[in-house]
Chain A
Amino acid sequence: MNIVHKSIAALLLMTAVSSPAFAQQTVVKYMTFSAAPDYIEELDATIAAFEAAHPDIDVQYETAAFGDYFTKLQTVIAAGQAPDAFEVNYENFVAFADKGVLADLGPLISADTGFSTGIYNPTALAAFSEDGKQYGLVESFSNVVLFYNKDLFDKAGVAYPTADWTWKEELEAARKLTDTANGVWGDFAPIQFWEFYKTIAQNGGAMFNADKTEVTIDSPQNVETLQWMVDKVAKYHVTPTDVEMAGQGDGDLFKAGKIAMLRTGIWMFGDFSANASFNWDIALEPGNTNKAHHFFANGVAVSATSANQQAAYEWIKFLTSSKEAVDIRIKAGWELPAVSDAAYVQGYLDQPKPESREVVFQALDTAVTPPVIANWNQLTDIVGKELEAAKLGQKTPQQALTDAAAAVKGIL
């Protein structure tokens, strides 16, 4: 499959290079995951705005689904065909920066008179620096909140979720909302790695100690947390099993009015606004002993081997900070631009759906960053597999987490 993709890309590239219309332009190849599949139009519009301002630069992009993106990126870089600019998320940024594949943007930024990195949210920008060097510009934030179907709540006569809900109130509501006869489920949160490290934080737990030298995956409060996650499926049956979902996505089930409460990312705003035919809103996630919310950041970097670093830098600067790009992003709900200007934030809040957009910013107060280690993909696979075993009842939560802890010790 990859070979086919690559040869198609190579063919397209050859035609582009050989066609005389592009001859005097600098081509910037860009690779992204966040644009596909829902925000391609917005990416096209951003590129059009950029090319209007920079007629000498031609941005050509390639997208990959998030699940395949980093495999593909790593492979094209290793093959010496790195795109000039590409997206990296915070989890993978450290590994890429350490391996020397990202260009130090410092000289380009200081040579760029009239531009200041003060435009970015400083914490978010700092996430994409390493050893005092800025290896990427921060593109967007996103987080995960509790989405709920207001119509289903009204029908069941249940009060909408509030900020002081805990797991207890959530479960009570979920039991009332679940309507097996009509295939409606009260609550959904996936049982997988990302959901797990956030949910354990809602119960005061963590994957590692503060300096990531010790594995604390199997702590008593984490076992209790996993038990709660599993119980929603197996014991209380307010969440469908894998077999009951039969390969349908949680977002699709929510859109079909089959899930009353769903923990998912704000990147679903665009899809739900366009395709959900009922009233819905968002709320802070209930916690047990603590409040905790995901925090994800995407950045864009320039390849260390790119021959067009200046042009690539112009593009990523435009993509992350220009008024045009930020406006397009806000209007479409394509995550949150990481710029610090209050006017932009207001523009975001003014969008019609969902009503309680301020929740997105409130959730940032209790943000949990991903527990990044060098062997990130192995960590997510090892823990993910044990969580799956617990979900399917092959192992008790205690046993699954004990096994996960033992395996993770080996890759730390």
Chain B
Amino acid sequence: MEGVTGRGKYVALAVLLLPSLVGMGAFYILPIVSSLVLSFTKWDLLTPVQWIGVGNYVAALGDPAVQQALRNTLTFILGYLPAVVAGGLGLALLLNRKLKGRTVFRAIYFVPVVTSWVAVSLVWKWLLNPQYGLINYGLALIGIKGPGWLFDPNWAMAGVIMTTIWKDIGFVTVIYLAGLQEIPENLGEASSIDGATPWQRFWSITWPMLAPTTFFVTTISLISSFQVFDQVFVMTGGGPVGATTTMVQLIYKNAFSYGQMGYASAISWILFALIFAVTVAQNFLQKRLDKSDG
């Protein structure tokens, strides 16, 4: 942009940004605005849109299906989030040591992250197969009769959670690895000289220094786990007996199977409000922690 000044600069900028603005407008902003408008209407996709005010929101708040989906989503988060963060951190600590072939391990752990959800879900569906799956076979070898996994309403969510942890853990690991590299080595050395055990070193240096990374990883994982869909869609379709019907699965059903676009949009916005509130709360908490530390 050197040499271009004043209005010319803005015109040039606008022209350069145009392609991505058009894409973003057409595929993000427009759908977001339309879904907000649609959430106040009744629309079955095929006949004209009818304005019904806040009716969808009122109905959604009293709908047992929404409550069940919300419960299932929270169950997923409780099972998934702590495990993926702790597991990712553990792996990062391991891979941060001067191991032989650690770049290879880092690559291996990252492969699932870049694999398509459909492929991962299908493979795990087989691994979790109660009769012919590798997991129940392994359990049988040590004398445990494996559960029905995706066919059992009490175990289906556990199967989905395991799959998701396996796929996402590499991502968390990579972020933590980056965070670990940021910690100056002399801190660790100094504490060793002072006679700190590795355990003490972790809790008083590594963990606090990783706080921003932990915050980032938790926020990103929390948001994505509120939106869990692909693996559920492929692995269980929300069953058995609705045990894995999550919020987005319910939105999809209402929109594309029941032809209730307005209602589905309203649930989407309720989900948005929820994610937004949780993220703001998390942010606030993080800032307070920072202050008390500092």
Which residues in A have some Cβ–Cβ distance to B below 8 Å? 1, 71, 74-75, 77-78, 96, 99-101, 242-244, 246-247, 375, 377-378, 381, 385, 388-389, 392, 394
In the complex the two chains form, what is the Cα distance from A385 to B241 in whole Å? 5
Q: In the complex, which residue of chain B has the Cβ closest to the Cβ of A400? A: B241
A246 to B142, CA, bound (A): 21
Known A71-B256, A243-B130: A388·B241 in contact at CB below 8 Å: yes
CB pair B45–A392 under 8 Å, yes or no, is no
Would you list which residues of chain B between 236 and 288 have a CB under 8 Å from chain A? 239-242, 253, 256-259
Which one of B47, B241, B258 lies within 8 Å of A392 (CB-CB)?
Answer: B241
Are B46 and A385 in contact, CB atoms less than 8 angstroms apart? no
Asked if B118 and A1 make an inter-chain contact with CB atoms under 8 angstroms apart, the answer reads yes
B151 interface contact, C-beta 8 A: yes
Q: Give A375 to B118 CA distance when docked, in angstroms.
A: 30
4 further contact pairs, Cβ within 8 A, besides A377-B258, A385-B239, A389-B241 = A242-B148, A243-B131, A246-B131, A381-B253
CB pair A77–B242 under 8 Å, yes or no, is no
Contacts of A99 in B (CB 8 A): 44, 46-47
Within 8 A of A (CB), among B34-66: 44-47
A-B pairs, top 6 by smallest CB distance, nearest first, are A246-B131, A243-B148, A78-B45, A99-B46, A242-B151, A243-B130
Contact B46 A243 (CB under 8 A): no
Query: Which residues of B pack against A, CB within 8 Å?
Result: 44-47, 118, 125, 129-133, 148, 151-153, 239-242, 253, 256-259
Residues on the A chain within 8 Å of B129, using CB: 246-247
Partner of B130, one of A75, A77, A246: A246
Q: Tell me, rounded to whole Å, the shortest Cβ–Cβ distance linking B263 to chain A.
A: 11
Give 22 pairs: A residue, B residue, CB < 8 Å, sorted on A: A74-B46, A74-B256, A74-B259, A75-B45, A77-B45, A78-B45, A78-B46, A100-B46, A100-B47, A242-B148, A242-B151, A243-B131, A244-B131, A246-B129, A246-B133, A246-B151, A247-B151, A377-B258, A377-B259, A381-B258, A385-B241, A388-B239
Interface of A is mostly: helix
Q: Which residues of A contact B257 (CB under 8 A)?
A: 71, 377, 381
Q: Within the complex, what minimum Cβ distance (angstroms) separates A81 from chain B?
A: 13
Taking CB atoms, residues of chain B closer than 8 Å to A381 are: 253, 257-258
Per the bound structure, the CA–CA distance linking A378 and B132 in Å amounts to: 33
Q: Which residues of A have CB within 8 Å of B132? A: 246
* Other-chain residue from A71, A246, A377, A392 in contact with B153 (beta carbon distance below 8 A): A392
Contact A385 B151 (CB under 8 A): no
CB distance from A56 to the nearest CB of B (A): 31
Please give the distance in Å from B33's CB to the nearest CB on chain A: 18
Assembled-state Cα–Cα distance A246/B45 (Å): 37
Q: Taking A246-B131, A377-B258 as contacts, is the C-beta distance between A77 and B46 under 8 angstroms? A: yes
Query: Given the complex, which residues of B lie within 8 Å of A101, measured CB to CB?
Result: 46
Whole-angstrom CA separation of A243 from B131 in the bound complex: 7
A193 to chain B, nearest CB (A): 13
Kindly state the separation between the CA atoms of A246 and B242 in the bound complex, as whole angstroms. 18
Q: Are A392 and B46 neighbours in the complex by a CB distance under 8 Å?
A: no
Q: Which residues of chain A are within 8 angstroms of B130 by Cβ–Cβ distance?
A: 243, 246
Q: Could you say which residues of chain B place their CB within 8 Å of the CB of A243?
A: 130-131, 148, 151-152
Whether the pair B240, A242 counts as a contact (CB closer than 8 A) is: yes
A101 and B48 alpha carbons, distance in the complex (Å): 12
Given the complex, which residues of B lie within 8 Å of A247, measured CB to CB? 125, 129, 151
Residues from chain A with a CB closer than 8 A to the CB of B258 are: 375, 377-378, 381
* B46 in contact with A75 (CB, 8 Å): no
Residues of A near B256 (CB, < 8 A) are: 71, 74-75
Residue among B45, B46, B240 with max Cβ neighbours from chain A (10 Å): B46
Instruction: A246 to B151: give the CA distance in the assembly, Å.
Output: 8
Q: How far is the CA of A310 from the CA of B44 in the complex (A)?
A: 28
Within the assembled complex, what's the spacing in Å between the Cα atoms of A392 and B152? 8
Residue contact A388 to B240, C-beta cutoff 8 Å: yes
Q: How far is the CB of B48 from chain A (nearest CB, A)?
A: 10
Residues from chain A with a CB closer than 8 A to the CB of B133 are: 246
A71 CA / B45 CA spacing, docked (Å): 11
Q: Are A385 and B242 in contact (CB under 8 A)?
A: yes
Residues of B within 8 A of A75 (CB): 45, 256
Say whether A74 contacts B45, CB under 8 Å: yes
Q: What are the residues of chain B within 8 A of A71 when measuring CB–CB?
A: 256-257
Contacts of B148 in A (CB 8 A): 242-243
Give the distance to chain A from B145, nearest Cβ to Cβ, in Å: 11
Task: Tell me the minimal C-beta distance from B227 to chain A in angstroms.
Answer: 16
In the complex formed, the residue of B with least CB distance to A101 is B46
Q: B44: which A residues are within 8 A, CB to CB?
A: 99
Shortest Cβ gap from B157 to chain A (Å)? 15
Q: Compute how far the CA of A250 lies from the CA of B129 in the bound complex, rounded to whole angstroms.
A: 16
